[in-house]
Protein backbone atom coordinates (compact mmCIF):
# COMPACT_ATOMS: atom_id res chain seq x y z
CA UNK A 1 0.00 0.00 0.00
CA UNK A 2 1.52 3.26 -1.08
CA UNK A 3 2.29 5.78 1.49
CA UNK A 4 0.08 8.79 1.43
CA UNK A 5 1.82 11.85 0.10
CA UNK A 6 2.83 14.08 2.99
CA UNK A 7 1.17 17.44 2.89
CA UNK A 8 3.55 20.35 3.14
CA UNK A 9 2.16 23.05 5.34
CA UNK A 10 3.82 26.47 5.03
CA UNK A 11 3.17 28.82 7.90
CA UNK A 12 2.84 32.46 6.98
CA UNK A 13 4.02 35.14 9.47
CA UNK A 14 1.30 36.56 11.62
CA UNK A 15 0.03 39.87 10.31
CA UNK A 16 -2.04 42.29 12.19
CA UNK A 17 -5.16 43.01 10.30
CA UNK A 18 -5.36 46.59 9.06
CA UNK A 19 -8.64 47.89 10.29
CA UNK A 20 -10.33 51.26 10.40
CA UNK A 21 -10.00 51.32 14.20
CA UNK A 22 -6.24 50.65 13.97
CA UNK A 23 -5.70 53.48 11.50
CA UNK A 24 -7.61 55.90 13.71
CA UNK A 25 -5.64 54.79 16.77
CA UNK A 26 -2.35 55.29 14.91
CA UNK A 27 -3.31 58.79 13.82
CA UNK A 28 -4.25 59.66 17.39
CA UNK A 29 -0.88 58.35 18.61
CA UNK A 30 1.03 60.44 16.06
CA UNK A 31 -1.03 63.49 17.04
CA UNK A 32 -0.25 63.00 20.71
CA UNK A 33 3.50 62.64 20.02
CA UNK A 34 3.53 65.84 17.91
CA UNK A 35 1.59 67.73 20.58
CA UNK A 36 4.01 66.48 23.23
CA UNK A 37 6.97 67.78 21.24
CA UNK A 38 5.25 71.13 20.69
CA UNK A 39 4.45 71.29 24.41
CA UNK A 40 8.14 70.80 25.26
CA UNK A 41 9.13 73.48 22.73
CA UNK A 42 6.59 75.94 24.10
CA UNK A 43 7.79 75.39 27.65
CA UNK A 44 11.46 75.75 26.75
CA UNK A 45 10.80 79.07 24.96
CA UNK A 46 9.27 81.66 27.24
CA UNK A 47 8.56 85.31 26.65
CA UNK A 48 9.26 88.37 28.79
CA UNK A 49 7.13 91.52 28.55
CA UNK A 50 8.99 94.84 28.46
CA UNK A 51 7.42 97.43 30.74
CA UNK A 52 7.48 101.19 30.38
CA UNK A 53 10.83 102.87 31.04
CA UNK A 54 11.24 103.22 34.78
CA UNK A 55 13.79 104.14 37.43
CA UNK A 56 15.81 101.32 38.95
CA UNK A 57 18.55 101.15 41.55
CA UNK A 58 21.67 100.32 39.61
CA UNK A 59 24.98 98.81 40.57
CA UNK A 60 27.79 100.31 38.52
CA UNK A 61 31.00 98.22 38.51
CA UNK A 62 34.30 99.97 39.26
CA UNK A 63 37.96 99.17 39.89
CA UNK A 64 39.57 100.97 42.79
CA UNK A 65 42.89 101.26 44.57
CA UNK A 66 43.09 100.72 48.33
CA UNK A 67 45.18 103.26 50.19
CA UNK A 68 45.88 103.06 53.91
CA UNK A 69 48.51 104.11 56.41
CA UNK A 70 51.47 101.75 55.85
CA UNK A 71 54.81 102.01 57.64
CA UNK A 72 57.71 100.22 55.93
CA UNK A 73 60.50 98.52 57.89
CA UNK A 74 63.88 97.39 56.59
CA UNK A 75 66.31 94.67 57.64
CA UNK A 76 68.60 95.52 60.55
CA UNK A 77 71.22 93.08 59.31
CA UNK A 78 72.23 91.06 56.27
CA UNK A 79 71.46 87.38 55.80
CA UNK A 80 68.65 84.96 55.14
CA UNK A 81 65.22 85.91 56.50
CA UNK A 82 63.07 83.64 58.66
CA UNK A 83 59.59 84.98 59.46
CA UNK A 84 57.74 83.99 62.65
CA UNK A 85 54.53 85.86 61.88
CA UNK A 86 52.14 85.41 58.95
CA UNK A 87 50.96 88.21 56.67
CA UNK A 88 47.71 89.72 57.92
CA UNK A 89 48.28 88.95 61.61
CA UNK A 90 47.52 91.70 64.08
CA UNK A 91 50.52 92.01 66.40
CA UNK A 92 51.47 93.95 69.50
CA UNK A 93 54.47 96.25 69.57
CA UNK A 94 57.62 94.33 70.51
CA UNK A 95 56.57 91.02 68.93
CA UNK A 96 59.45 88.98 67.44
CA UNK A 97 58.65 88.72 63.74
CA UNK A 98 61.86 87.72 61.98
CA UNK A 99 65.54 86.91 62.15
CA UNK A 100 68.25 87.34 59.55
CA UNK A 101 71.16 84.92 59.83
CA UNK A 102 74.32 84.74 57.76
CA UNK A 103 74.14 81.03 56.95
CA UNK A 104 70.39 80.53 56.57
CA UNK A 105 70.37 77.38 58.69
CA UNK A 106 67.85 78.26 61.41
CA UNK A 107 64.92 76.27 60.05
CA UNK A 108 67.01 73.18 59.32
CA UNK A 109 68.59 73.27 62.78
CA UNK A 110 65.20 73.60 64.45
CA UNK A 111 63.78 70.69 62.50
CA UNK A 112 66.79 68.48 63.25
CA UNK A 113 66.75 69.47 66.91
CA UNK A 114 63.10 68.61 67.46
CA UNK A 115 62.64 65.83 64.88
CA UNK A 116 60.72 62.94 66.49
CA UNK A 117 60.19 64.85 69.71
CA UNK A 118 56.78 65.77 71.07
CA UNK A 119 57.45 69.42 71.86
CA UNK A 120 54.37 71.13 70.40
CA UNK A 121 51.46 71.83 72.72
CA UNK A 122 47.85 71.12 71.73
CA UNK A 123 47.33 74.86 71.26
CA UNK A 124 50.34 75.04 68.93
CA UNK A 125 49.11 72.08 66.90
CA UNK A 126 45.71 73.74 66.64
CA UNK A 127 47.30 76.98 65.41
CA UNK A 128 49.35 75.11 62.80
CA UNK A 129 46.24 73.26 61.58
CA UNK A 130 44.45 76.62 61.32
CA UNK A 131 47.33 78.01 59.27
CA UNK A 132 47.14 75.03 56.90
CA UNK A 133 43.36 75.37 56.57
CA UNK A 134 43.63 79.09 55.86
CA UNK A 135 46.37 78.40 53.33
CA UNK A 136 44.20 75.86 51.49
CA UNK A 137 41.39 78.41 51.18
CA UNK A 138 43.73 81.15 49.95
CA UNK A 139 45.66 78.97 47.49
CA UNK A 140 44.98 79.60 43.80
CA UNK A 141 46.74 77.16 41.42
CA UNK A 142 46.73 79.82 38.67
CA UNK A 143 48.30 82.54 40.81
CA UNK A 144 51.94 81.79 41.74
CA UNK A 145 51.97 84.56 44.37
CA UNK A 146 49.30 82.66 46.32
CA UNK A 147 51.63 79.64 46.55
CA UNK A 148 54.38 81.84 47.98
CA UNK A 149 51.93 83.34 50.47
CA UNK A 150 50.72 79.88 51.54
CA UNK A 151 54.28 78.60 51.98
CA UNK A 152 55.33 81.59 54.08
CA UNK A 153 52.23 81.44 56.29
CA UNK A 154 52.64 77.77 57.15
CA UNK A 155 56.40 78.01 57.67
CA UNK A 156 55.93 81.03 59.94
CA UNK A 157 53.33 79.20 62.03
CA UNK A 158 55.61 76.17 62.49
CA UNK A 159 58.72 78.22 63.34
CA UNK A 160 56.82 80.39 65.77
CA UNK A 161 55.44 77.40 67.63
CA UNK A 162 58.71 75.45 67.67
CA UNK A 163 60.52 78.43 69.21
CA UNK A 164 57.67 79.05 71.64
CA UNK A 165 57.31 75.46 72.87
CA UNK A 166 60.85 74.18 72.50
CA UNK A 167 63.53 74.42 75.13
CA UNK A 168 66.00 76.13 72.82
CA UNK A 169 66.10 79.79 71.82
CA UNK A 170 67.53 81.31 68.65
CA UNK A 171 70.58 82.34 70.67
CA UNK A 172 71.32 78.70 71.56
CA UNK A 173 70.72 77.39 68.04
CA UNK A 174 72.75 79.86 65.98
CA UNK A 175 76.32 80.97 66.69
CA UNK A 176 76.58 84.30 68.46
CA UNK A 177 76.95 87.27 66.14
CA UNK A 178 75.67 85.47 63.05
CA UNK A 179 72.03 86.55 63.27
CA UNK A 180 69.83 89.56 63.96
CA UNK A 181 66.40 89.53 65.61
CA UNK A 182 63.74 92.10 64.75
CA UNK A 183 60.67 92.99 66.74
CA UNK A 184 57.74 95.17 65.72
CA UNK A 185 58.21 98.86 66.52
CA UNK A 186 54.43 99.41 66.70
CA UNK A 187 51.19 97.46 66.91
CA UNK A 188 49.08 96.76 63.85
CA UNK A 189 48.61 94.40 60.92
CA UNK A 190 51.82 92.66 59.79
CA UNK A 191 52.25 92.61 55.98
CA UNK A 192 54.94 91.03 53.81
CA UNK A 193 54.26 92.57 50.40
CA UNK A 194 55.18 95.85 48.74
CA UNK A 195 54.20 97.50 45.44
CA UNK A 196 55.48 101.08 45.52
CA UNK A 197 52.13 102.68 46.38
CA UNK A 198 52.85 102.81 50.10
CA UNK A 199 52.41 106.36 51.35
CA UNK A 200 50.83 107.60 48.09
CA UNK A 201 48.13 110.25 48.23
CA UNK A 202 45.25 110.79 45.80
CA UNK A 203 46.95 113.87 44.33
CA UNK A 204 49.97 111.73 43.33
CA UNK A 205 47.96 109.18 41.32
CA UNK A 206 46.97 109.23 37.64
CA UNK A 207 44.48 107.31 35.53
CA UNK A 208 47.31 105.09 34.28
CA UNK A 209 47.88 103.77 37.82
CA UNK A 210 44.60 101.87 37.59
CA UNK A 211 45.63 99.78 34.58
CA UNK A 212 45.88 96.05 35.42
CA UNK A 213 49.53 96.03 34.29
CA UNK A 214 50.46 98.02 37.38
CA UNK A 215 49.70 95.01 39.56
CA UNK A 216 52.95 93.52 38.25
CA UNK A 217 54.80 95.70 40.77
CA UNK A 218 53.36 93.61 43.62
CA UNK A 219 56.07 91.61 45.40
CA UNK A 220 55.55 89.18 48.26
CA UNK A 221 58.55 88.49 50.54
CA UNK A 222 59.03 84.97 51.95
CA UNK A 223 61.21 83.06 54.37
CA UNK A 224 64.54 81.99 52.93
CA UNK A 225 65.19 85.17 50.95
CA UNK A 226 68.62 86.76 51.23
CA UNK A 227 68.55 90.46 52.12
CA UNK A 228 70.99 93.25 52.80
CA UNK A 229 70.81 95.64 55.70
CA UNK A 230 68.31 98.33 54.75
CA UNK A 231 66.24 96.13 52.39
CA UNK A 232 62.46 96.04 52.90
CA UNK A 233 61.36 93.10 55.06
CA UNK A 234 57.84 93.98 56.30
CA UNK A 235 55.33 96.76 56.83
CA UNK A 236 52.71 97.59 59.44
CA UNK A 237 49.19 98.92 58.85
CA UNK A 238 48.46 100.40 62.28
CA UNK A 239 44.65 100.43 62.12
CA UNK A 240 41.50 99.24 60.33
CA UNK A 241 40.92 102.46 58.38
CA UNK A 242 41.28 102.43 54.60
CA UNK A 243 40.35 104.41 51.49
CA UNK A 244 39.24 103.28 48.03
CA UNK A 245 40.18 105.62 45.16
CA UNK A 246 38.67 105.12 41.68
CA UNK A 247 38.63 107.13 38.41
CA UNK A 248 35.37 108.89 37.51
CA UNK A 249 33.74 109.37 34.13
CA UNK A 250 31.88 112.57 33.28
CA UNK A 251 28.55 110.81 33.86
CA UNK A 252 29.79 109.63 37.27
CA UNK A 253 30.75 113.17 38.27
CA UNK A 254 27.26 114.45 37.39
CA UNK A 255 25.62 111.53 39.20
CA UNK A 256 27.65 111.62 42.42
CA UNK A 257 28.68 115.27 42.78
CA UNK A 258 26.06 115.93 45.48
CA UNK A 259 26.71 112.72 47.39
CA UNK A 260 28.38 112.83 50.79
CA UNK A 261 28.35 109.04 51.30
CA UNK A 262 27.97 105.97 49.08
CA UNK A 263 27.14 102.31 49.63
CA UNK A 264 29.23 99.70 47.81
CA UNK A 265 29.26 95.93 47.39
CA UNK A 266 32.69 94.29 47.28
CA UNK A 267 33.55 91.13 45.33
CA UNK A 268 33.11 88.94 48.44
CA UNK A 269 29.51 90.18 48.81
CA UNK A 270 30.22 92.52 51.74
CA UNK A 271 28.28 95.80 51.61
CA UNK A 272 29.87 98.90 53.17
CA UNK A 273 28.91 102.54 53.40
CA UNK A 274 31.63 105.17 53.46
CA UNK A 275 32.15 108.91 53.31
CA UNK A 276 32.46 110.08 49.70
CA UNK A 277 34.29 112.99 48.06
CA UNK A 278 35.63 113.90 44.61
CA UNK A 279 39.34 114.77 44.36
CA UNK A 280 41.68 115.74 41.53
CA UNK A 281 44.57 113.44 40.60
CA UNK A 282 48.01 114.43 39.27
CA UNK A 283 46.86 114.26 35.63
CA UNK A 284 43.92 116.61 36.40
CA UNK A 285 41.34 113.85 36.08
CA UNK A 286 38.72 113.38 38.78
CA UNK A 287 38.66 110.48 41.21
CA UNK A 288 36.07 109.28 43.68
CA UNK A 289 37.35 108.74 47.22
CA UNK A 290 35.52 106.44 49.65
CA UNK A 291 36.74 106.46 53.27
CA UNK A 292 36.03 103.71 55.80
CA UNK A 293 36.76 103.67 59.51
CA UNK A 294 36.81 99.88 59.91
CA UNK A 295 37.02 96.52 58.11
CA UNK A 296 40.42 97.36 56.61
CA UNK A 297 41.81 94.16 58.12
CA UNK A 298 39.64 92.16 55.71
CA UNK A 299 41.36 93.59 52.61
CA UNK A 300 45.06 93.45 53.38
CA UNK A 301 46.28 91.05 50.68
CA UNK A 302 46.04 93.27 47.57
CA UNK A 303 46.11 96.87 46.38
CA UNK A 304 43.27 96.77 43.85
CA UNK A 305 39.64 95.84 44.43
CA UNK A 306 36.55 95.50 42.22
CA UNK A 307 33.27 96.77 43.63
CA UNK A 308 29.79 98.00 42.77
CA UNK A 309 28.24 101.32 43.75
CA UNK A 310 24.69 100.74 44.96
CA UNK A 311 23.38 104.32 45.12
CA UNK A 312 22.80 105.02 41.41
CA UNK A 313 19.32 105.70 40.06
CA UNK A 314 18.94 105.07 36.31
CA UNK A 315 15.94 105.18 34.00
CA UNK A 316 15.48 102.58 31.27
CA UNK A 317 14.10 99.13 30.53
CA UNK A 318 14.90 96.37 32.99
CA UNK A 319 15.45 93.09 31.13
CA UNK A 320 16.74 89.63 32.14
CA UNK A 321 20.42 88.91 31.50
CA UNK A 322 19.39 85.58 29.96
CA UNK A 323 17.61 87.42 27.12
CA UNK A 324 20.77 89.17 25.90
CA UNK A 325 22.58 87.65 22.91
CA UNK A 326 25.64 88.79 20.95
CA UNK A 327 25.71 89.12 17.18
CA UNK A 328 28.57 89.98 14.82
CA UNK A 329 28.09 92.88 12.36
CA UNK A 330 30.34 94.11 9.56
CA UNK A 331 31.59 97.68 9.97
CA UNK A 332 31.57 99.82 6.79
CA UNK A 333 31.57 103.47 5.85
CA UNK A 334 27.96 104.65 5.62
CA UNK A 335 28.54 105.79 2.03
CA UNK A 336 28.32 102.11 1.00
CA UNK A 337 24.73 101.82 2.26
CA UNK A 338 22.19 101.93 -0.55
CA UNK A 339 18.67 100.76 -1.38
CA UNK A 340 17.69 98.16 -3.92
CA UNK A 341 15.60 99.20 -6.95
CA UNK A 342 12.10 100.27 -5.99
CA UNK A 343 12.56 98.90 -2.49
CA UNK A 344 13.29 101.02 0.56
CA UNK A 345 15.24 98.14 2.09
CA UNK A 346 18.81 99.13 3.02
CA UNK A 347 21.71 96.96 1.98
CA UNK A 348 24.99 96.75 0.08
CA UNK A 349 26.06 96.38 -3.55
CA UNK A 350 28.43 93.43 -3.65
CA UNK A 351 30.48 91.69 -6.30
CA UNK A 352 29.59 88.01 -6.64
CA UNK A 353 30.12 85.27 -9.24
CA UNK A 354 26.83 86.35 -10.83
CA UNK A 355 28.04 89.95 -11.06
CA UNK A 356 27.19 93.01 -9.00
CA UNK A 357 24.07 92.33 -6.92
CA UNK A 358 22.15 94.16 -4.23
CA UNK A 359 22.12 92.30 -0.90
CA UNK A 360 19.42 93.48 1.53
CA UNK A 361 20.71 93.68 5.09
CA UNK A 362 20.02 94.87 8.59
CA UNK A 363 21.73 98.26 8.84
CA UNK A 364 22.32 100.44 11.91
CA UNK A 365 23.39 104.07 11.33
CA UNK A 366 23.75 106.76 13.94
CA UNK A 367 22.10 110.12 13.39
CA UNK A 368 23.60 113.45 14.37
CA UNK A 369 23.34 114.27 18.11
CA UNK A 370 21.94 110.82 18.89
CA UNK A 371 23.13 109.75 22.34
CA UNK A 372 21.38 106.43 22.93
CA UNK A 373 23.05 104.32 20.30
CA UNK A 374 25.53 101.50 19.91
CA UNK A 375 28.22 103.22 17.81
CA UNK A 376 30.11 106.44 18.29
CA UNK A 377 30.90 107.48 14.71
CA UNK A 378 28.25 109.14 12.54
CA UNK A 379 30.10 108.04 9.37
CA UNK A 380 30.05 104.35 10.30
CA UNK A 381 27.35 101.74 9.70
CA UNK A 382 26.86 98.29 11.19
CA UNK A 383 25.63 95.74 8.63
CA UNK A 384 24.37 92.17 8.96
CA UNK A 385 23.10 89.65 6.42
CA UNK A 386 23.58 85.89 6.16
CA UNK A 387 24.52 86.50 2.51
CA UNK A 388 27.50 88.70 3.42
CA UNK A 389 30.88 87.17 4.17
CA UNK A 390 34.39 88.35 5.00
CA UNK A 391 36.49 89.08 1.92
CA UNK A 392 33.52 90.15 -0.19
CA UNK A 393 33.99 93.35 -2.23
CA UNK A 394 31.32 96.04 -1.82
CA UNK A 395 30.73 99.06 -4.05
CA UNK A 396 29.68 102.63 -3.21
CA UNK A 397 27.47 104.65 -5.57
CA UNK A 398 28.09 107.87 -3.63
CA UNK A 399 30.26 110.21 -5.70
CA UNK A 400 31.46 111.94 -2.53
CA UNK A 401 32.47 108.70 -0.83
CA UNK A 402 36.09 108.51 0.42
CA UNK A 403 36.51 105.35 -1.70
CA UNK A 404 34.35 103.56 -4.24
CA UNK A 405 35.22 99.96 -3.28
CA UNK A 406 35.99 98.20 -0.04
CA UNK A 407 36.50 94.67 1.27
CA UNK A 408 34.38 93.34 4.12
CA UNK A 409 36.46 92.23 7.04
CA UNK A 410 36.17 94.48 10.08
CA UNK A 411 33.46 93.26 12.46
CA UNK A 412 32.06 94.29 15.81
CA UNK A 413 29.83 92.52 18.30
CA UNK A 414 26.41 94.04 19.02
CA UNK A 415 24.38 93.00 22.05
CA UNK A 416 20.65 92.58 21.56
CA UNK A 417 17.52 90.57 22.25
CA UNK A 418 14.96 88.73 20.13
CA UNK A 419 11.64 90.55 19.86
CA UNK A 420 8.71 88.17 19.15
CA UNK A 421 5.70 90.51 18.81
CA UNK A 422 4.72 88.98 15.45
CA UNK A 423 5.55 85.39 16.37
CA UNK A 424 9.00 85.21 14.81
CA UNK A 425 12.40 86.32 16.12
CA UNK A 426 13.61 89.82 15.22
CA UNK A 427 17.00 90.94 16.56
CA UNK A 428 16.83 94.28 18.41
CA UNK A 429 20.06 95.94 19.62
CA UNK A 430 20.32 97.01 23.25
CA UNK A 431 22.61 99.50 25.01
CA UNK A 432 23.42 98.65 28.62
CA UNK A 433 23.44 101.66 30.92
CA UNK A 434 23.78 99.90 34.29
CA UNK A 435 23.60 96.61 36.13
CA UNK A 436 20.51 96.20 38.28
CA UNK A 437 20.92 95.39 41.96
CA UNK A 438 19.10 92.20 41.05
CA UNK A 439 22.09 90.53 39.37
CA UNK A 440 19.91 88.47 37.02
CA UNK A 441 18.75 91.70 35.30
CA UNK A 442 20.38 94.60 33.44
CA UNK A 443 19.10 98.10 32.64
CA UNK A 444 19.16 99.19 28.97
CA UNK A 445 18.57 102.57 27.31
CA UNK A 446 15.01 103.42 26.32
CA UNK A 447 13.96 105.42 23.25
CA UNK A 448 16.77 103.90 21.20
CA UNK A 449 16.39 103.87 17.43
CA UNK A 450 16.24 100.30 16.10
CA UNK A 451 15.72 99.19 19.69
CA UNK A 452 12.89 98.06 21.93
CA UNK A 453 9.66 99.90 22.59
CA UNK A 454 7.42 99.81 25.67
CA UNK A 455 5.40 96.59 25.98
CA UNK A 456 7.43 94.66 23.40
CA UNK A 457 7.73 90.93 24.01
CA UNK A 458 11.19 89.37 23.98
CA UNK A 459 12.52 85.86 24.46
CA UNK A 460 13.57 85.08 28.01
CA UNK A 461 16.38 82.83 26.74
CA UNK A 462 17.81 84.29 23.54
CA UNK A 463 20.32 81.45 23.13
CA UNK A 464 17.52 78.94 22.44
CA UNK A 465 16.62 80.26 18.95
CA UNK A 466 17.96 81.85 15.77
CA UNK A 467 16.89 85.01 14.00
CA UNK A 468 13.64 84.64 11.99
CA UNK A 469 12.68 81.41 13.81
CA UNK A 470 8.92 81.14 14.28
CA UNK A 471 7.80 80.91 17.89
CA UNK A 472 4.74 78.84 18.87
CA UNK A 473 2.76 80.93 21.32
**pLDDT tens track for 5-34:** 555 555 555 555 667 666 677 777 777 766
CA distance 238 to 68: 9
What is the mean pLDDT of the segment spanning 358-366? 91
Q: Pairing state of beta strands 96-101 and 242-247?
A: unpaired
Residue ranges per domain, the chain? 48-54+321-464, 76-192+218-234
Comparing 38 with 245, the larger pLDDT belongs to: 245
Residue from 107, 108, 63 nearest 307 by CA: 63
Task: Give pLDDT, residue 281.
Answer: 96
Cα→Cα distances 157→84, 87, 131, 144, 180, Å: 7, 11, 7, 21, 20
Question: What are the beta bridge partners of residue 215?
Answer: none
Percent of the chain with pLDDT over 70: 73
Phi, psi of 22 (to 5 degrees): -65, -40
Contacts (Cβ under 8 Å, ≥6 apart) of 458: 47, 48, 50, 319, 323, 417, 418, 419, 420, 428, 452
CA distance 223 to 148: 9
CA distance 342 to 336: 18
CA distance 257 to 248: 11
State the virtual CA torsion across 291, 296, 300, 304 in degrees, nearest 10. -30
H/E stretch holding 161: helix 144-165
How many other C-beta atoms are found inside a 10 Å radius of the C-beta of residue 127?
17
- For 320-356, the pLDDT digits (tens) are 999 999 999 999 999 999 987 667 889 999 998 888 9
CA distance 407 to 350: 10
How many other C-beta atoms are found inside a 10 Å radius of the C-beta of residue 214?
16
- For 399-429, the pLDDT digits (tens) are 888 888 999 999 999 999 999 998 889 999 9
CA distance 131 to 139: 12
For the cut 90, the answer to whether the pLDDT of residue 275 exceeds it is: yes
Region class of 271: left (phi > 0), else alpha (psi between -120 and 50), else beta: beta
In contact, 281 and 205? CB cutoff 8 Å: yes
Question: What are the beta bridge partners of residue 304?
Answer: 65
Task: Give pLDDT, residue 158.
Answer: 61
CA distance 89 to 131: 11
Residue from 102, 182, 120, 112 nearest 157 by CA: 120
Query: pTM score > 0.95 for this model?
Result: no
CA distance 55 to 185: 53
Cα→Cα distances 282→70, 247, 273, 449, Å: 21, 12, 27, 40
CA distance 252 to 245: 14
Residue from 261, 262, 264, 270 nearest 299 by CA: 270
Cα→Cα distances 191→89, 131, 216, 329, 389, Å: 8, 16, 18, 50, 56
In contact, 365 and 337? CB cutoff 8 Å: yes
CA distance between the termini of the chain: 84
Task: Give pLDDT, residue 165.
Answer: 43
3-state secondary structure at position 77: coil
Burial classification of residue 246, based on how many CB atoms lie within 10 Å of its CB (0-12 exposed, 13-18 middle, 19 or more buried): buried
HSE (side-chain half, CA atoms, 13 Å) at 307: 24
CA distance 263 to 303: 20
- For 107-149, the pLDDT digits (tens) are 666 655 555 455 555 655 565 566 666 656 555 555 545 555 5
Amino acid sequence: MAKETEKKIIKHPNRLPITFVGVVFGLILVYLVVQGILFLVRNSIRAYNIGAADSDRAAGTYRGMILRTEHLYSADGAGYVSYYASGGERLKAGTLVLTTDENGGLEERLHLLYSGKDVLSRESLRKIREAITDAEEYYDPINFESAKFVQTSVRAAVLNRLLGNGSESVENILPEGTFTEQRTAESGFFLLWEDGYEGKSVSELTNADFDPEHESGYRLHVSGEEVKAGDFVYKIAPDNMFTIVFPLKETDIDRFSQKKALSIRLADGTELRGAFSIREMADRTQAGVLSFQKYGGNYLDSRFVDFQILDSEVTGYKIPESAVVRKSFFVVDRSFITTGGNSSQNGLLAETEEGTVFIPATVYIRRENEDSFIIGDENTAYVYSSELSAGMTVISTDENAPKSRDTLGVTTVVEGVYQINQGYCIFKPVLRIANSLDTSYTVIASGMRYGLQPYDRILLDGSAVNENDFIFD
